[in-house]
Amino acid sequence: MSLTIAVDAMGSDCAPQPEVEGAIQAVRQCNVRVLLVGQQDVVSAELARHPEAAGLPIEVVHASETIGMEEKAAQAVKVKRDSSMRVGLRLVKDGTADGFVSAGNTGAAMVTAKLVLGVIAGVDRPALATVFPNSARTATILLDVGANVDCKPQNLQQFAIMGDIYFRSIFAGRFPTASNPRVGLLSVGEEEAKGNELTREALPLIKALPLNFLGNVEGRDLYNGRADVIVCDGFVGNVALKISEGMVGAVRAILKESLQASLIRKIGFLLSRGAFQDFRKRLDYSEYGGAPLLGLRGVAIVSHGSSNGTAIKNAIRVASEFARSGLNQLIEQKIHAAQDRTSAAE
Amino acid sequence: MSLTIAVDAMGSDCAPQPEVEGAIQAVRQCNVRVLLVGQQDVVSAELARHPEAAGLPIEVVHASETIGMEEKAAQAVKVKRDSSMRVGLRLVKDGTADGFVSAGNTGAAMVTAKLVLGVIAGVDRPALATVFPNSARTATILLDVGANVDCKPQNLQQFAIMGDIYFRSIFAGRFPTASNPRVGLLSVGEEEAKGNELTREALPLIKALPLNFLGNVEGRDLYNGRADVIVCDGFVGNVALKISEGMVGAVRAILKESLQASLIRKIGFLLSRGAFQDFRKRLDYSEYGGAPLLGLRGVAIVSHGSSNGTAIKNAIRVASEFARSGLNQLIEQKIHAAQDRTSAAE
């Protein structure tokens, strides 16, 4: 049976165009129904520019307000009671939709999602998880990439549990390790003594969990496929994500520049263009859909402000897979089990 | 007049071969004298394999012990009183050498350097600084990249002062911004309110300094040339450095793979090979020499364990430039000035 995903139609930098394109691609490819949430007239006008969308299971739900990229999250959420984010998340809360996708202000999306949906019992902080491509042709999940800049050791322990479950559910059948993901704690060296106060305290907590735990891993392990899930606080994770995005840009610029340097090289570039398209695709986070907020009582996917239609489509696909997987029930069970073990141990 | 650089001949993964090669390249290209510190017989034997080295200003200084990559720094430094690191740094301390280079155990090098040379008055913690290439064809210095995993706000303030001075001295005349480097504080967003406890407390301290301070910068700014100097704690900096190294590897692997996928692409690759050589060179940290430990009473450069001869040569060049620049005197002056301002403000 097909699920219903609510999409913040006013979120991305070029909204509502990528959202509308993404919705059309999604309903065609992913067996979903889409509710585009935003200013009725604006969204309908964009939808009308796509005659092929006539008859597709896409509806517009009106929301009078929009939260801008530059607005302070807490403030904007407090003032704008009828924002496209809040309305879209209410659709999930009341069961009208099975999941929510937004390419808008990440901070505001997180605050609103926590406010409207609430967190799973036993989870202290929701975490934003992102999928990174790697040279082993698999993928590595890093969390938290920005929901929590100052973490406690038990937050990292909960992130490990949620990351393990998330990897299993989205990569089951795609990667052999999905049946028993290798979980690592991001640190500055592999020895247990290496790390900062936070990671040194978190290590034994994660070690105590029934996980395939590698112990400390290093920054380089984000790209070599050695770990399936890497746990860190939201400050380090956000820096890691943005450094990677920045480096992809720099690599493209440097390569392009040297490939233009001579006629021979230009010809070479033309002949090998396909390779660069693969390359772009492999390093293009939009191919991996958005980043889920794990630990909420509901499904909320945040995607990049610069998302194109494909990125939105993939985020909608991830939202529907997430909703189908019963992932949140699993998170609740395993978090409780971990807490029972801890209190038993005390 | 030519300076003397002491080189830990037992440091790198393939020691003493890269150290000997690097020493030969350096004395030929950089107007320096090199003291190779390590087990006399081993180093002399390697040197003997290079007849071209005969008559060059390279001497071997015996040290009976070697600290391995896997040894715990504090422990190894305590026990091995005659390690190549300790002997080499003593040569700097007693004025026999103007600087020291090691591609060995970074932790041990830092502990030994702090122990033997001591820190500049007013500096609480030395910082390890690395040069990153960027898409603006300039370079960005990141510090600390691993000397201090848990930092206080005033440590970051001191890193800002030292980074500014280091950028001015090594890039004077090469980059226009070297006359007034743009300094940024690594955080998760540009607004002053963004960041973790540490960065929020460090921001006003750095703002109070007479620097060209950009405020908060993000991970992506490490590669876009927006900042010349980026300050962070050693945990975040080490993760940033290793993620970048890991990503360079992944990019190469992914590109190589797709470039082998068809005959046409292979031909294209052959024609554009020069571009990939440029690309490698631009992203190859060994081209930038090692990472200096700033804040010590002397010159100590740490380079990567996987250093080849070129990397060692560049580290020796950086060490001699550092020693010539009178950089440490400048650091001492500016740190004192900053502290006077602070106490005056209180």
The 3-state secondary structure of chain B reads CCEEEEEECCCCCCCCHHHHHHHHHHHHHCCEEEEEEECHHHHHHHHHCCHHHCCCCEEEEECCECCCCCCCHHHHHHHCCCEHHHHHHHHHHCCCCCEEEECCCHHHHHHHHHHHHCECCCCCCCEEEEEEECCCCCEEEEECCCCCCCCCHHHHHHHHHHHHHHHHHHHCCCCHHHHCCEEEEECCCCCCCCCCHHHHHHHHHHHCCCCEEEEEECHHHHCCCCCCEEECCHHHHHHHHHHHHHHHHHHHHHHHHHHCCCHHHHHHHHHCHHHHHHHHHHHCHHHHCCEEEECECCCEEECCCCCCHHHHHHHHHHHHHHHHHCHHHHHHHHHHHHHHHHHHHC
The full set of domain ranges for chain A reads: 3-122+295-325, 127-255+269-284
**Contact state of B259 with A246 under an 8 Å Cβ cutoff:** no
Identify which has the larger pLDDT, A278 or A136. Answer: A136
Is-contact B143 B234, C-beta < 8 A?
Answer: no
Q: Domain spanning B127-255+269-284: which superfamily? A: Isopropylmalate Dehydrogenase (3.40.718.10)
**Contacting residues for A172 by C-beta, under 8 A, at least 6 apart:** A178, A179
What span, in angstroms and rounded, lies between the C-alpha atoms of A210 and A160?
11
Residues of B in contact with A261 (CB under 8 A): 274-275, 278
| A212 has pLDDT over 90 | yes
- With a cut of 90, say whether residue A183 has pLDDT above it: yes
Which of A166-180, A280-294, A328-342 has the least mean pLDDT? Answer: A280-294
β partners of residue A139: A133
Select from B102, B146, B153 the least CA-distant residue to B126. Answer: B146
Q: A245 is written with which tokens? A: 């995005």
pLDDT of residue B296: 96
**What pLDDT is stored for residue B191 in this prediction?**
84
Residue of chain A minimizing CA distance to B261: A275
**Per-residue pLDDT for A279 more than 70?**
no
Confidence band, pLDDT 50/70/90 cuts, at residue A105:
confident
Secondary structure letter of residue A120 according to DSSP: P
For A135, which residue in chain B has the nearest alpha carbon? Answer: B250
CB A219, CB A186: distance < 8 Å: yes
pLDDT in tens, A43-71: 999 999 999 999 999 999 999 999 988 88
Could you list the mean pLDDT of each consecutive 10-residue stretch along chain B, which spans 346 residues? Answer: 94 95 96 97 97 95 92 87 97 97 91 95 93 86 90 96 93 92 95 90 96 96 95 95 84 76 79 71 64 95 90 93 90 90 73
List, as ranges, residues 240-299 from B with C-beta within 8 Å of A: 240-247, 249-251, 253-255, 258-259, 261-262, 264-265, 267-276, 278-279, 282-283
| pLDDT more than 70, % of chain A | 95
Nearest CA in chain B to A150: B196
Q: What pLDDT sits at residue A284?
A: 60
Q: Which residues pair with B186 in a beta bridge?
A: B217
Q: List B182's β-bridge partners, or say none.
A: B212
CB contact under 8 A, A275 and B269: yes
Least confident residue range of A1-5, A95-99, B3-7, B89-93: A1-5
Q: Do domains B3-122+295-325 and B127-255+269-284 have the same CATH topology?
A: yes
Across A74-78, A222-226, B136-140, B269-273, the highest mean pLDDT is recorded for A222-226
For residue B165, which of B149, B150, B154, B181 has the smallest C-alpha distance?
Answer: B181
Q: Smallest CA–CA separation between A13 and chain B, in Å?
A: 17
Residues A233-270: tens digit of each pLDDT: 999 999 999 898 888 777 777 777 777 778 887 887 77
Residues of chain A neighbouring B135 (CB-CB closer than 8 A): 249-250, 253-254
Interface test with B, best of A106, A186, A242 (most B CBs within 10 A): A242
Subunit contact A265:B249, Cβ cutoff 8 A: no
- Tell me, what amino acid is at A177? T
Tens-place pLDDT, residues A135-154: 888 889 999 998 788 999 99
pLDDT for the residue B69: 83
Which top CATH class is B3-122+295-325?
alpha beta
* Nearest CA among A283, A271, A212 for reference residue A244: A283
- Calculate Rg over the CA atoms of chain A: 21
Q: Is the pLDDT of residue A288 over 70?
A: no
ipTM, 2 dp = 0.87
At A285, the pLDDT band (50, 70, 90 cuts) reads low
pLDDT at A194: 86
